[in-house]
Amino acid sequence: MALEVRDKDRLPLSPHVINNRAKPTASMLDPNKGTPLRFMVLDKRTLKIHRLEAPVGKRVIAPWGGALYPMAFVNDLVIQEGRPGHGPDGYINPAVWVTLEDNNGQPLHEGWLFERDSAQTAWDHPRFDLTFLGKVEPPAPAPTPGKGAQAAGAAARKRIPSTPASSLPEPQDEAMEGPELRD
C-alpha cells in the first residue's frame, strides 16, 4: 500500500518539507558509523516513555513494532538551499538522519532529527512522539578518594523529592532491550 493512501488521516506536509529533504552527503554517512545515539519515544496512549540506544548504521526495534535506523550523525549540521553541510567553527547543531520503518520493513518516515530543536521534525504519528537526545556520553571517571569524594557521596545519598507526595506519579520509563535488526 502506498504511503499516500495509508496516511490519509494525517495532515499533508508542506511543500518545503517534501521538496527540500536535504539528504545526507556520502561524506556524512561513514565517519560516525557505530556511534551510539540516544532516543526517547513517548507512547501518547499509555504515557510510557521508551528510551532507546541505537548506533549509527544499525536498525533497532522500536515501540511501534517497526524499526529505528539512524543512518548519519553530524555534530554541526547546517542546511542551506536544501543542501546539508557542516556549520562554521563554534556552531554546534547535532542532528541525525533516521529512517523509521513499520513492522513490514517499509519506510514510514526519513529525515533529520535535531538534538537542540526536537520539534523540528516532519514525522507525525498518531500514537508515538520521537525525540533525539544526542550521543551517548561515556561515564564520568570515578572521583579519587579524599574530602571531595566524601562530600560527593553524602550529597548523592541525600535524596530530595522533586514533587510533593500528594501529586500524581510521573510516566514510567521503559528501556527498550532487544536484538538489533540486520543492516
Q: Tell me the CA end-to-end span of the chain in Å, nearest whole number.
A: 24
Q: Which residues lie below 8 Å from residue 40, measured CB to CB, with a gap of 6+?
A: 49, 50, 51, 52, 130, 131, 133
- What local confidence, expressed as pLDDT, does residue 172 receive? 61
Output the tens digit of pLDDT for each of the chain's 183 residues.
444 545 555 555 444 445 556 888 888 888 888 899 999 999 999 999 999 999 999 999 999 999 999 999 988 887 777 677 777 766 688 889 999 999 998 888 888 888 887 666 667 788 898 999 989 887 777 776 665 555 555 555 555 555 454 455 555 666 655 555 555
What is the pLDDT, as a whole number, of residue 69?
A: 94
What's the pLDDT score for residue 151?
54
Euclidean distance between CA atoms 30 and 21, whole angstroms:
19
pLDDT confidence of residue 70 = 94
pLDDT value at residue 86? 73
| Residue 75 pLDDT | 86
> What strands lie across the sheet with 95-101, from one edge to the other?
107-114, 95-101, 67-74, 59-61, 180-181
The pLDDT value given to residue 67 = 94
In angstroms, the CA 86 to CA 78 distance is 6
Residue whose grid cell is 554546534: 92
Q: Residue 61 and residue 41: Cα distance in Å, rounded? A: 12
Say what the pLDDT of residue 1 is.
44
